[in-house]
Amino acid sequence: MDTAFRILAPGPVHRWGGAALIVARRADLHRAPSLSPAERRVLRALPAWRRAEWAAGRLLAKRLVRDMVAAPADEVEILPRDDGSPCVVVAGSPLPAVHVSLSHTARHVAAALAPEPVGVDLCESGSAAAVRRVADRVLSPRSSPSSARTGPMPWRAPGR
């Protein structure tokens, strides 16, 4: 198996190069923090087919932010920026130094959090060979998870 594309077990937080990544089974997110009123407004505006995946991604990201930024769960929101990308908000204040990326498949969802722009993309095992071919063409050596540094997460919520 290629180390840059190892299978990640759902549940624990994985760390790569200053980023934190968590994967969960969508069915397991019933214990996740609830959505805020602002997040519920965004959810209601989405097409019905998109709502479950959108909510699952935000619930997992909120769990990761709560753990990594040391913020109370009820103060964490993942709201869309003007371009639609997710923005971390804690106690009503955006955290511009905290970047989040979300991905999902039919059964799983992933959230990544980092002090710099970050990207995460899930694929089913059957797609791994195609993903490796694309990665070889588009990822720089510095972007490869196999070259990542490890270390503590450098952020804290404001006032914490």
Q: What is the CATH number of the domain that holds 33?
A: 3.90.470.20
Q: Would you call 101 exposed, middle or buried from its count of C-beta atoms within 10 A (0-12, 13-18, 19+)?
A: buried
Closest CA to 104 of 27, 4, 33, 2: 27
Distance, in Å, from the CA atom of 148 to the CA atom of 129, rounded to the nearest integer, reads 21
In this structure, what token pair is assigned to residue 157? Answer: 């919520």
Split at pLDDT 50, 70, 90, the class of 16 is: confident
Instruction: Reply yes or no on whether the pLDDT at 34 is more than 90.
Output: no
The mean pLDDT value for 5-24 works out to 74
- In terms of pTM, does the model score above 0.85? no
Mean pLDDT of 3-22: 69
Residue 38 domain-assigned? yes
Give 3-state DSSP helix, strand, coil % of the chain, rounded to 5. Answer: 40, 25, 35
Which one has a higher pLDDT value, 132 or 56? 56
Q: Which residues pair with 103 in a beta bridge?
A: 110
Q: Is residue 33 part of a domain?
A: yes
Boundaries of domain holding 25: 3-147
Instruction: Detail the DSSP E strand segments found in the chain.
Output: 13-16, 19-25, 76-80, 86-90, 93-104, 108-114
Q: Is residue 103 part of a domain?
A: yes
**Does residue 120 fall inside a structural domain?**
yes
Determine, yes or no, domain membership for 153. no
How large is the average pLDDT for residues 14-20?
82
Do the domain assignments include residue 132?
yes
Partner residues linked to 25 by β-bridges: 108
Write out pLDDT tens, residues 50-109: 888 898 889 889 988 988 888 888 899 999 999 989 999 999 999 998 999 999 888 888
Q: Is 46 among the domain residues?
A: yes
State how many domains the chain has.
1
Q: Say what the pLDDT of residue 69 is.
A: 84
